[in-house]
Amino acid sequence: MESDTNDLDAGLGGRNDGDAAREALSALNADREVLADRIRTPAWYYPLLALATALIIGSPGAGMPGQSVLVVFGCLGIVFLSLAYQRITGITITRSAGPTSLTTAIVLGITIVLLLGVSFALTATGHAAWVWASAAAAFATMWIGGRVYDRAFDRELRRGH
């Protein structure tokens, strides 16, 4: 048994377990900081995402042929933004970093779905001219909410949540 302990100490370069653990945690913290800096969202990302979202939310007010065009352009915009973000950072984000960013993403998603429902309701009740208001609300929600999500994600990533 004594040789096992000596072998372990030799593998750590003569350091004790506490020093090795602190060094490993320090390295992990440094890696989190580098990752958080690397995945910083470009300034143009959220305004363009907000525009693509507004196109989709505003589409019911455009009538049948125009609605399809707006949805296609909105969806293509979201796909191209995702690809551009992946190309710039080299990383694809597939999940939230912690509970705050997850909650923010859920609230954003629910709000956008509700605004799409409002757009359809306005169109169905003959108030298609007011769909622009729900599209504008979606634009503001996505731009501001996206920035809030970004800050929460960054904070949680840097803290290791």
Gap between the terminal Cα atoms of the chain: 38
Where exactly are the structural domains of the chain?
A: 2-36, 41-159
pLDDT given for residue 1 in this prediction: 47
| Integer CA distances (angstroms), 112 to 41, 43, 59, in order | 21, 21, 13
pTM of the model: 0.74
Q: Give the integer Cα–Cα distance in Å for 93 and 53.
A: 19
pLDDT given for residue 31 in this prediction: 61
Q: Give the integer Cα–Cα distance in Å for 122 and 60.
A: 9
**Within the chain, how many helices (H) and strands (E) appear?**
6, 0
pLDDT digits (tens, 9 = 90+) for 34-77: 665 667 788 999 999 999 999 999 999 988 888 899 999 999 99
